Chain A
Amino acid sequence: MCAMRLTGYAEKFSVHPGDKIKFYVNCDGPAEFKAEVVQMINGDTNPRGPGFIEKPIAAACNGTYKGRKQIIHGGSYGYAADAPQFHVESFTLQCWVWPTTPKTHPRYWKHGAQGLVTKWSQGKGYGLFLNEEGQVELRINGHKITTGVPIRDHAWHFVAASFDAATGEVVLYHEPQIVYALDPVIEPVKTVIKTKVEHSAAPVALAAYVDRMDDSPLAKSSLPAGVWFTGKYNGKIDSPRICNKALSRFEIEQMKAGAQPGLTERRNSGPTGALSETIVAAWDFWDGIDTIVAKDNGPYRFDAQLVNCPTRAMTGYNWAGENFDWKYAKKEYGAIHFHDDDVDNARWEADVEWSVPEEGIKSRFYALKLTTSEGDEDYIPFWVVPRIGKEQSKIAVMVPTISYMAYANEHVACNAGGAELFVYRVPIMQQQNMFLAEHREYGGSIYDTHTDGSGICLSSRLRPILSIRPKYDHFLAQAPWQYPADLHLVYWLETMGYEYDVFTDEDVTYDGLARLENYNVIITGSHPEHNSGPQLDALHNYTQRGGRLMYMGADAWYWVHSYHPAYDGIGRGVITEMRRCESGIRTWRADPGEYYHQGTGELGGMWRFRGRYLHSVAGVGMSSEGFDISSYFSRTPDSLDPRVSWAFEGISYDEPLGNFGLVGGGAAGLELDIVDTMLGSPPHTLAVATSAGRHTEAYLLVMEDFGFNQQGLDGTVHPRVRADIAYHETPNGGAAFSFSSIAFCGSLPWNNCQNNISTLVKNVLDRFSADGPLPPPPADAIRHRGRADYESPALAQRG
């Protein structure tokens, strides 16, 4: 069931009026599909809300298209094109490996042999493999020589094989680096094979092997096109070498150091001149870590193209635990971790192209709606974003596309044993989750682990992202989350009659302040958790210059992200990278020494641990999360302060704020932010409403806020498990209003937008969107304030 036969993606998230946008569609079965541009208004099908709403757009591309199947050739590998030097008679292959799934379950999605260093296809050639029993295996044409010993997973081994064409002598080495007391000794395997290596035009493959080469339409989306790679390896490889001679064990040892080019009396002692002459290729994965090329420092420069963005900046076999930043110890970072489910680009053929008119198209949320006469349906979201200087409104919504990418094609309900413990119920999988559970080649999210159990730290937008869809409830919320949740806000803006522009995280990251400065107010999405440094800089510069920020959710400004520069040539923000370092809410944890991004070299993890507190961006920061049900807010005395009381016009002091909603049943839920002047909230921040004391035991304090495991961390008892709606002024007539709950926007549409959450947001938006600086605060509000200089009245009384 649940076979999604229509899936697709767009070449970009944001398109300017006057530009073109291409759409790539997989239509697996039906002869044709219909494509229509629609404006997205509401994506939530909950019967207690307004229901699904889209608006047809007259677009030149609307029409019926011929369907065709398109597939993703998932799994990372490197390849170097065939060359005469690879057509050896004798050879030695060698590398270090740290395999993660040497042996897989027979039903595992890619069960079978895995290629390490191969120039082998269809029974011709030579190559080092792990066979399906998890043993090191040398293949020469149809001959398979194995050690007969399973290789240990998650451990470094040196492996090598030599073949002497003249004598037929084969030697296969498998040398574990850690040998435990009860491990049997693994002797080199020696045998004689009388054969001549047969050669083909297949490329050399690293971490894979070539299955076949043909001109079938489905092979077009492979790289290089027409070559079907298989045997995708899971694990690290370091320092692969190919030599054209059967080397002795001593020569193999010398060859570990690689080519060492430019030998003089003063530098680069390495293989002798005579030994160096045997080098066909000597790849140094430490060289060019921020690229997607595996550098061959051998004489022929057979640089290997890396496909599907394997993870680099990984500790190598020789990592000493002294250096933690690859930039300063590159030669200890000579490992690449390949995964059989990596994907950087689906590489599909375009089916639909829309030239967005220069005039008459509003900057809004759009989607290409795909349907078939047989009931198939998919939506490919995109955003029309004005060029800078041609803004259409005073209000702009910043669409959290980095966060959408971080959650792209998330598998947690299916993969994780403990997922139920944090959602506090049995998870619900939608048809998208069912499809992804089978189609691992669509890649996972940065919340998932790869199929080998290692963390996913890279996410591409050039693939169908089935979680950025309307009509999609996320298991975390049992309600809309991210994209469809942000449509609650869009529905509200539309219903209330506001004119607004939209732009994405990507636009802010590349355009900086220029993208923001012509707006009176910027509105965020419900959960802008994942952010680039340039984006936070731009928001800071904007609010400091009098800009107004409405932060509509929670758990924002949390993780360090960077776009991988190696992909800049094919568009903005194609791949985002994030490492889950020592603290924060982490569904996986980066390994020691692997905290620095491969793309930009910056330290990953939480912005907090780079000295950029969450609370410093909009006055509040994440303090707790829980995913069962939501609660509501009560006003505090701060809300009566004339600096902010205007926001509560039409709302009585005692009424519950938001005890209704389409996400968890209330405005305060999922993930919650609080004011904390010790963590960056400006000292003049007003906490105008709070949900303190109302959350369930499923809500737990974030781990970065405590250093000792202890009872008493849940919503029924811990004082920091709450959401605080907060306000503070910024210089030059700017301000930030923070609503501090991911569920908040789910209350906006309630009762046709006639409710107190809607009133509050309208009051704020009306004031923030007006031209000119905000009215100045009362004169007595200007005074010196410390950060911690406060004594609780309760404590004072006790004294």
Chain B
Amino acid sequence: MIPIPKKGTPEREALIREHRECVDSMKGVAGFSVLKCETPGDTTIVTGGVHENPVLRRVLLRMRGESPKGKLVVICTKVDAEWRIGRLSGIRGVPPEFVNDKVYTDEQEIQHDIFLMRLEEMPETAGMPEHFAEGWKRRDDNWPVT
């Protein structure tokens, strides 16, 4: 595993910048990927992002593979108009809760803020031996489960 780039490092800033540019270029697409549309909102030609930045790709994969408990998720509060950030409970029957009051009016924009929040929340050594816990033996990652 690669370490999550540390706060304040040029490497981390570069990831954030690349992610930001991808998000901006995807506005208007009925879908989303951390890639850059050559023409904003048009997926005919996409470059950059996870295809060309191996660190960004791996950091995103690590974030995406996290356990559902406490995982950030997008909640649409008005169809095609408003979105907010929520957190999954990880408990069946307990719905996600909003993490703050911020309302987004673009469904892609929220992807970037969640990326930033996860960078803050994820230790540099996430997934490495110093974080070993009993749950590793008991499939608490929930990774292969739906």
Q: Which residues of A contact B (CB under 8 A)?
A: 1-2, 45-48, 105, 107-110, 341, 411-421, 424-431, 434, 437-438, 440, 447-449, 451, 453, 471, 473, 477-479, 587-588, 627-632, 656, 659-666, 669, 696-698, 716, 746
Contact = CB atoms under 8 A, between A and B. Distances in A.
A478 B33 contact: no
Interface in B26-40: 26, 28-35
A429 B86 contact: yes
A48 B28 contact: yes
Given A424-B34, A477-B31, A629-B35, 13 more contacts: A48-B30, A417-B145, A424-B50, A426-B73, A426-B114, A449-B146, A471-B79, A473-B76, A656-B44, A665-B31, A665-B43, A666-B43, A696-B33
Contact of B83 (A411, A428, A434, A661): A428
Given A420-B64, A429-B74, A696-B35, A588 B96 contact: no
A629 B114 contact: no
30 contacts: A45-B79, A45-B80, A46-B30, A108-B94, A413-B73, A414-B73, A414-B96, A416-B145, A417-B66, A417-B71, A417-B145, A418-B64, A418-B143, A426-B72, A426-B111, A429-B74, A437-B95, A438-B94, A448-B146, A449-B145, A449-B146, A451-B93, A477-B30, A478-B107, A628-B32, A629-B33, A632-B44, A669-B31, A697-B57, A746-B30
Contact of B30 (A108, A632, A664): A664
A665 B92 contact: no
A46 B80 contact: yes
B105 interface: no
B16 interface: no
Given A46-B30, A107-B89, A665-B29, A426 B146 contact: no
B92 A108 contact: yes
B133 interface: no
A588 B96 CA distance: 23
B77 interface: yes
A437 B96 contact: yes
B142 interface: yes
B145 A427 contact: no
A440 B43 contact: no
B46 A696 contact: yes
B29 A417 contact: no
Contacts of A630: 31, 43
B143 A631 contact: no
Given A426-B111, A427-B74, A453-B145, A665 B66 contact: no
Interface in B11-28: 26, 28
Contacts of A659: 42-44
B114 A424 contact: no
A199 to B, nearest CB: 34
Contacts of B76: 428-431, 473
Nearest to B88: A414
| Residue of B43, B64, B71 with most chain A CB atoms under a 10 A cut-off | B43
Contacts of A418: 64-65, 142-145
Contact of B75 (A429, A447, A697): A429
Contacts of B77: 1-2, 431
A628 B31 CA distance: 6
B116 interface: no
B5 interface: no
B107 A109 contact: no
Interface of B: 26, 28-35, 41-44, 46, 50-51, 57, 61, 63-68, 71-77, 79-80, 83, 86, 88-89, 91-96, 98, 107, 110-111, 114, 141-146
B2 to A, nearest CB: 17
Contacts of A108: 91-94
Contacts of B73: 413-414, 426-429
| Overall SS of chain A's interface | loop
Nearest to A108: B91
Given A425-B32, A438-B95, A451-B92, A629 B145 contact: no
A666 B92 contact: no
Contacts of A2: 75, 77
Contact of A421 (B41, B43, B65, B110): B65
Contacts of B50: 424, 696-697
B119 to A, nearest CB: 13
Contacts of A746: 30
A479 B28 CA distance: 12
Contacts of B32: 424-425, 478, 628-629
Given A415-B145, A478-B107, A425 B71 contact: no
A426 B98 CA distance: 15
B90 to A, nearest CB: 9
Contact of B51 (A411, A477, A697): A697
A490 B72 CA distance: 36
Given A412-B146, A656-B44, A425 B34 contact: yes
Contacts of A627: 31
Contacts of B33: 424-425, 628-629, 696, 698
B74 A447 contact: no
A174 B84 CA distance: 49
B30 A434 contact: no
A302 to B, nearest CB: 33
A105 B93 CA distance: 11
Given A416-B146, A438-B94, A664 B44 contact: no
A438 B93 contact: yes
Given A1-B77, A429-B96, A629-B46, A663 B31 contact: yes
The 5 closest A-B pairs by CB, nearest first: A109-B93, A628-B33, A420-B64, A417-B142, A664-B31
A101 to B, nearest CB: 9
A431 B74 CA distance: 11
Nearest to A410: B146
A452 to B, nearest CB: 8
A66 to B, nearest CB: 28
A108 B57 CA distance: 35
Contacts of A664: 29-31, 43
B137 to A, nearest CB: 14
B6 to A, nearest CB: 23
B44 A417 contact: no
Contacts of A109: 91-94
A662 B144 contact: no
Given A1-B77, A415-B68, A631 B92 contact: no
B30 A419 contact: no
| Residue of B32, B41, B88 with most chain A CB atoms under a 10 A cut-off | B32
Contacts of A663: 30-31
A691 to B, nearest CB: 12
Contacts of B74: 426-429
A697 B26 CA distance: 16
Contacts of B95: 414, 434, 437-438
A586 to B, nearest CB: 9
